[in-house]
Amino acid sequence: MKENRGNPLQLTSLNHISLVCRSVQESIDFYQNILGFVPVRRPGSLSFDGAWLFNCGIGIHLLQSEEEGKLPEKREINPKDNHISFQCESMSAVEKSLTEMGINYVRQRVEEGGIYVDQLFFHDPDGFMVEICNCDNLPVIPLAGETVRACSRLNSLRAIQHQQQIQVVQP
């Protein structure tokens, strides 16, 4: 096993993801109206069609496909496929909204030590998978004595509390 080197690149957060689209406008509509992202100014030096959106502390950069026919077709919704995941406040509200908007989704539940995480998976207009979850329920616990920064303060607090419980139990 390779030696763990901590954070050699001094990463601080996820900045953005880039997605190649069949139609930038259709994808803008989806990310703006379904996920609540806001279009933001894009550098004028970019000489190709695209759009930048921002929300939840991250950006989504949409890039117009140069070869539309080469984009993969939508497949069956598969939670084990590539996806981006967003934490939500209310899974029931998300599920109700997706149903009202006619968006097909797959529901899953993960359990670990009596803690449950609910997940909803669906596709964007180009077949890229999106997950909405209450993943904050599950503490982020390092496999070794490493320190990790969780997605939220709540999850970080749970991880610290869990680590303290382990230290108390161990002789």
Alpha helix segments (H runs only) across 18-134: 24-33, 91-100
**19 neighbors 130 (Cβ within 8 angstroms):** no
Measured distance CA(33)–CA(127) in Å, rounded = 17
Task: Based on the residue annotation, tell me whether 131 is a catalytic residue of this protein.
Answer: yes
Q: Which two tokens stand for residue 30?
A: 């989806």
> CA 66 → CA 30, 53, 63, 71, 75, distances in Å?
20, 20, 9, 10, 21
Q: Which of 67, 89, 131, 146 is catalytic?
A: 131
Tell me which residues are annotated as active site. 131
